[in-house]
Amino acid sequence: MKLSVENAVDVSIQKRDFKFGRTHAPPRWWHSQDAGRTAYFNALSATFPQGEKFFMTAVRHYRNSTSEPLRSQIDNFLYQEATHSREHIIFNRQAADAGYNLRPLEDRVRATIGWARRRSPIQQLAATCALEHYTAALAQHALAVPSALNGAVGEAGDLWRWHAIEEIEHKGVAFDTYLHATQNLSPFRRWLKRTVVMLATTVRFHYILYRNTADLLRQDGRHDWATWKALLIYLYGRDGAMRHLISSIGRYLRPGFHPWDEDDRALLHEALNHFPHHNRER
């Protein structure tokens, strides 16, 4: 089922104050007692605090020129992203407490974001659209494919499920902001700009993610073929997250694409049942 852009703006984006990992820190290899899976998710988490601040800045730049309902959606997007950043700071601190040195990972992210911040506001927004598409695709996979997070212990697994829920909820906000910001461009120029930025972002995203993963595996003494083989099968096998992501990039490059071409509302409803005592708006 496809949603039109007009229907997409009716998707509820809730303000929730979720808190995980305050009582019990996860074990060092918190995902399936597996060094590779843990390194992949920890590497991804290392990008979030700075990355989500970048997203917030890029979208907020255009907030005052928008009208309802997009303006309120932007406000809720900003709230959710700020909360995600807060929770991943704590998650990353727990990884550091478990013995990992995240500073090289965070420095790598900081350098890339510093470069991106020197681009024009519309290029920053286009990069945000690309990366929000990545997070939404990975979130959809995390919620729809049981093997993605099965084996993730306790509150660590819950944090990733909750983050996935909210990434899907607000997956159209940056894109709709981009459509607003480029409304005076021709459809071809609007498509070309976001396509070029997506291709450039894809290269950088994969470079940072796998450099970060490799750094963590070295720290564990598991930067070896056996560990990488198992991880790549997990990520690129038939039900793999990165295989799903690559397929989703092809959809993003189509003219006329919109994030809510895929209606994930049933998936959201099912996933929220995992948090019966926390599924409420502030």
Structure confidence at residue 24 (pLDDT): 81
Do 176 and 18 form a contact (C-beta atoms < 8 A)? no
Structure confidence at residue 249 (pLDDT): 96
- Residue-wise pLDDT tens digits, 72-108: 999 999 999 999 999 999 999 999 999 999 999 999 9
Q: Give me the sign of the Cα torsion angle 52, 53, 56, 58.
A: negative
- Domain extent listing, the chain: 33-272
Contacts 24+ apart (CB under 8 A), 68-74: 69/9, 69/10, 70/9, 70/173, 70/176, 70/177, 70/180, 73/9, 73/13, 73/170, 73/173, 73/176, 74/173, 74/177
Lowest mean pLDDT among 97-101, 154-158, 168-172, 196-200: 154-158
Do 130 and 202 form a contact (C-beta atoms < 8 A)? yes
How far apart CA 211 and CA 143 sit, in angstroms, is 26
Q: Single out the residue of 64, 84, 86, 88 nearest to residue 75, CA to CA.
A: 64
Structure confidence at residue 109 (pLDDT): 97
Measure CA 207 to chain center.
16
Geometric angle at alpha carbon 48, from 47 and 51, rounded to 5° = 80
pLDDT confidence band for 110 (50 / 70 / 90): very high
| Cα radius of gyration rounded to whole Å, the chain | 18
**Prediction pTM value:** 0.93
If phi > 0 it is left, if psi is from -120 to 50 it is alpha, else beta; for residue 152 that is beta
- Structure-block tokens of residue 192: 């070309």
pLDDT confidence band for 277 (50 / 70 / 90): low
Number of residues that make up the chain: 282
Q: Give the architecture-level CATH label for domain 33-272.
A: Up-down Bundle (1.20)
pLDDT surpassing 50 at residue 3:
no
- Dihedral (Cα; 25, 27, 30, 35), 10-degree rounding: 140
How far apart CA 144 and CA 146 sit, in angstroms, is 6
Measure CA 40 to chain center.
13
- Phi, psi dihedral angles at 94 (to 5 degrees): -65, -35
Cα 274 to Cα 22, 103, 118, 135: the distances in Å are 19, 33, 41, 20
Structure confidence at residue 251 (pLDDT): 96
How far apart CA 190 and CA 256 sit, in angstroms, is 10
- Residue-wise pLDDT tens digits, 251-272: 999 999 999 999 999 999 999 9
Contacts 24+ apart (CB under 8 A), 20-24: 20/87, 20/90, 20/91, 20/155, 20/156, 20/158, 20/159, 20/162, 21/87, 21/90, 21/91, 21/94, 21/155, 21/156, 21/159, 22/90, 23/155, 24/154, 24/155
pLDDT confidence band for 18 (50 / 70 / 90): confident
- Residue-wise pLDDT tens digits, 59-75: 999 999 999 999 999 99
Structure confidence at residue 275 (pLDDT): 83
AA letter at 170: H
